[in-house]
Structure 1
Amino acid sequence: MSHTAHIRSHRKPRRSASKIAMRAGVAGGVLSTLAVAGASGAANAAEPVTQTLELPTLTADVATQVAQSADATQQAAANYQLQAERDAAAAKAAKQAKSDLADAKQKAEAKKKAAQEAARKEAAARASRNSERTTLSAKATTSTSTSTSTSTATGSAAAVVAFVKAQIGKAYVSGATGPSAYDCSGLVQTAFKQVGISLPRVSQDQSTAGTQVSLSNLQPGDILYWGGAGSAYHVAVYVGDGMFVGAQNPSSGVGEHPLSYDPPTGAVRVL
């Protein structure tokens, strides 16, 4: 036996053919993979890269907030529209009120002018009546002084004068003919009935019942009238000495007054 037979050899053991083949196959596969990857990389380098972004899905809370925001926006729009309509209505109402105020002012001014004109006419008419009464008063004064000789009543005239004086103090009632109350023509009619003379019932007719006489030539028993002959509105009886007795009005009743108290327009004589 050799003296080296028990010494272990230091050479690497030979690889088996199968292992060598396996390693060669693995290496080839790796190279193939690298080749494909390289080719793919080259292709990807030549083409643009498209990246897809996925939007986040709305959660229930976010959806509710969006809905509430939409409702709030819609409500705000409705409020703006309502306010605009109210503003338009207010503007229209203000315009109408302004127009109505102008009309009212115009009508008030017209009424004021009409009232002023009526007052002016009334004042002119009053002044005219006062002037006429002043003239008549002067005539009555003259007639009093000129009729002194005929101021004493006699006969039927005395009876008429006595009757009307006996009624002084009684009430004035429209349409009354005695014995407790009279109106102006009722007193005159009843007085002349005492002496058998029938006179018309109303003042207008009594003012034309006899002969027209001048106020400057009055005698007791003459009928005095106020207003025009045939359109008189008041009558009384002249009792002499510049005095007359008549049923004047509800406040004074039957009374005796001087001619200057209310100067008459004319007179008629029936006795």
Structure 2
Amino acid sequence: MPTSSRNSGKAARTLGSAGIACALGAGTLLGLSGTASAAVPTEQTMDSAPSSVDEGTTVTFRGTLSGLGDRPLSGEDVTLQWRGGQGQPWQEGGSDTTNDKGVAAIQADVDRTAQWRISYPGDRLNDPAASKPVTVKAEQSIGERLVETAAAQAGESYSYGASGPDSFDCSGLTQYVHKQHGIDLPRTSGDQRAALPEIAKDDKRPGDLIFFADGGSVYHVGIYAGGNTMWAAPEPGDVVREQEIWTDAYTVGRAW
């Protein structure tokens, strides 16, 4: 009899514990255990990212966050991250909140070749997730390459009507430099001005053409180098050199 009584008490205690667990429910148990017991798997993808861009280009990275059964997770904060290479720490590049389709779109300036990913930190119910890293190569812009090619002609003599490779006049230099990058320009500065769209002065970028005119007739052209200078073949007796832009009376054209 004593043995039977002890067994009955043990059974009662076991049934009581089971009853408490049922009353609490699965959601409460998850809450008691904290983030470490989050059981809902998530997936973060990178849906849109270029393989290469010009340095300084603003890129929109898009990705989708989903949970069980590919269900979109909306209203979740995700972060765009980048690193210089494998093994380097990730750095934040911006953030966004997922929309009703689980999509986030984050803009960032790509100034160097780097790996990018979108990361989701997770919460009490959802596991953290990160997209596979993608490498975006930042290439030197065509404008910067034009400036480099123009600078490589430094010291070559001015000769009226010459278009390289050993001597130039002003429009001969601009035509020659562009041709090295597959861009065809007319021969004279006036024809070059007429062939190109005009760019606002505030929007000029290295590699653009700076045109000078007197009474509507273009008399000089150079390749904008940044700041207040341009590469040009100025005049007889001079050489190809970086020349100061000496006046505000100029227009800007772009052939690329």
Could you say whether these structures have the same fold, taking a TM-score greater than 0.5 normalized by the shorter chain as the test?
no
Highest Rg: 1 or 2? 1
Q: Which has the higher helix share?
A: 1
Q: Which has the higher strand share?
A: 2
TM-score bracket, normalised by the shorter chain, equals 0.3 to 0.5
